[in-house]
Amino acid sequence: MSKLIGPFKEVITLAKTPEKGVLADSSLLIIENGGVLVEDEKILKTGSFESLSKEADQIEEVESAHVLMPGLVDCHTHLVWGGTRARDYTLRMSGESYEKILEQGGGIFDSVEKTRGASSEVLKEGLVKRANRHLNDGVTTIEVKSGYGLDVGNELKVLEVVKNAKADIKADLIPTCLAAHVCPKEFSDKKEFLTYLENELLPQLLVKGLTNRIDIFVEPSAFPVEIAKDYMAAARKLGFDLTIHADQFHTGGSQIAVELGARSADHLEASTDKEVELLAKSDTVAVALPGASIGLGMQFTPARKLLDAGASLAISTDWNPGSGPMGDLLVQAAILGIYEKLSSAEIFSGITFRAAKALGLDDRGRIAVGKKADMIAFPVDDYREILYNQGKIKPDMIWKNGKQI
Ligand code: NIG
Ligand code: FE
C-alpha cells in the first residue's frame, strides 16, 4: 500500500547532493508543491503532489504550508550519564579551564563516579528523556557513546542500557564504545588500561552484539597519539568501525583517524591547515561540534576551511554533561553557519546525509527513492526561515520509517 504525504510548499530533497566539499544552495534540490510517496517504511517516489496523487493508494494530507526535509542525524552524543556538571560549568564561566578541572579529578571523572553509582533503571530514564527530546526537535537518528563507565562492568552496563532503551525510543540509537575516554584512577599506566580494554572488553562487545563502533579521546590529557593508534589499530583488526575525538585542544588525533580509515574525526577545533588537508583528501568525515565550542567558550571547528579544501563536513551536538550540555542540533548548526559562513546546503547536508555517512549509514539523510522515510516538516513556507530563526522554529510534524509520530 503506497501512501502519499503532502502537499509541501517545498521539499528539500538533498537527493543527489555530493558527499564532499563546497555546496551552493542549488544543490538542495528543492521540489515546490511536492509530495513524497512512501511504502513499507521507505521512499518510493518524490515529485509534484498533484501528479503523484494519481498513483497513490492513500493520501496523508498536510493542510497548512510546510517545508519538508530529511530527519536530522546527530552522529556524536554522550547521552548516558549520572549526576550533573553544573558546578564545572560555573567554574568554567569564571575562567577555570576544562583540562585543569579534569586534571584535578573533576570533569569526566565526576561523571564517571556518578554513572558508576547509578542503577541501569536511572540511567535508562535519563537516556529516554534526552533521546525523546531530541526526536521532538527532529533528530530521527542518534549516535550514543558510552565512556563514563571506564571499566568492563560499567561500560557493558551503559551499552546494555542503550540496547534496552531502543524499545522505548522511536529514533534509531547507534551505540559506540568510548571506554577509552580517559584513564580511570585505578590504572596508573594508560597503555596498560588500553591493553585491558582490548583484551577484556572489545571481544565481549562483539559477542553480546552491543556495538560495532569504537571511539577514543586522543589528547595528551586523555590518550596520547602513539598509544591511541595501537589500540585503534587493534580494534580495527577485530572488525570494528572507528571514530576519534580528534584535535580538540592539540593536534594528532585526525592524523590517526585518516591513517586508520576511521569513519569520522570529531571536534577538530585545534586543526591547522595540515590537518584540514589530510581530512579533505580522505574518506573520513570531519565532524564539527559547535555545542562543545559554545559549552567551553572556545573557537569553532574550521568548517569553512574544511569544506573549501574538499572535506565532508557533518555537524553534531556532542550532547554531554560536561562540554556540551545544550543538546540542540538546529540551534547549534545555525550558529556555526553564521560564524563559519556556511551555505544552507552545507548546513542541511551536515545534519543529515553527511552525518549519516559518519555513522556508515547510506540508507537515510536524503529524501530520495529507496531511502528510509525519516522526514521532518517545519511550519514555514520558505526553507530560509529555518536557519534564519536560528533553530527556534522546530518541526511540528515528524515521520519515522514513514509513520508520523
Ligand atoms: O566530546 N572531549 C572529550 N569528551 C567529551 C566531553 C565529555 C565530558 O566532558 O564529559 C567531548 O567534549
Ligand atoms: Fe564527544
pLDDT in tens, 164-219: 999 999 999 999 999 999 999 999 999 999 999 999 999 999 999 999 999 999 99
How far is residue 3 CA from its own chain's centroid?
Answer: 30
For residue range 50-105, list pLDDT tens digits in order: 999 999 999 999 999 999 999 999 999 999 999 999 999 999 999 999 989 998 88
Ligand index nearest the alpha carbon of residue 77: 2
For residue 149, the model assigns a pLDDT of 98
Cα 199 to the center of its chain, rounded Å: 28
Ligand nearest to the CA of 291: 1
The bound ligand whose nearest atom lies closest to the alpha carbon of 320 is: 1
ipTM metric: 0.96
- Report how far residue 253's alpha carbon sits from residue 91's, in angstroms, rounded to the nearest whole number: 27
Residue 339: how many CA atoms within 13 Å on its side-chain side? 16
Q: Which CATH class for the 3-70+365-404 domain?
A: mainly beta
Mutation probe of ligand 1 site: the residue of 99, 148, 320 with most atoms within 8 A of C-beta? 320
CB neighbours of residue 274 within 10 Å: 11
- pTM comes to 0.98
Question: Can you tell me which atom of ligand 1 is nearest the CA of 267?
Answer: 1
Looking at domain 73-358, its CATH class is: alpha beta
Grid look-up 530533497 returns 13
pLDDT for residue 105: 86
Ligand 1-lining residues (CB < 6 angstroms): 78, 107-108, 111, 217, 245, 248, 292, 318, 320-324
Q: Whose CA is nearest to atom 5 of ligand 1?
A: 323
Residue in the structure block whose three cell numbers are 521540489: 31
Is residue 36 within 8 A of residue 46, CB to CB? The reply is yes
Q: Interhelix angle for 108-117 vs 152-165, to 10°?
A: 70
What residues of the chain score a pLDDT lower than 70? Answer: none
Which of 74, 78, 113, 144 for mutating ligand 1's site (highest number of atoms within 8 Å of CB)? 78
Ligand 1 probe mutation, 318, 326, 332, most atoms within 8 A of CB = 318
Ligand 1 centroid–CA 371 distance in Å is 32
Q: Which atom of ligand 1 is nearest to the CA of 222?
A: 3
Nearest listed ligand to the Cα of residue 243? 2
Do residues 182 and 218 make contact, with C-beta atoms less than 8 angstroms apart?
A: no
- Residue 277 CB: number of other CB atoms within 10 A? 16
Residues of the chain with CATH 3.20.20.140: 73-358
Give the pLDDT confidence score for residue 6 in this predicted structure.
Answer: 98
Could you give the angle at the alpha carbon of 242 between the alpha carbons of 238 and 243, nearest 5°? 160
Amino acid at the residue 270: A
Please give the Cα distance from 41 to 373 (Å, whole number).
6
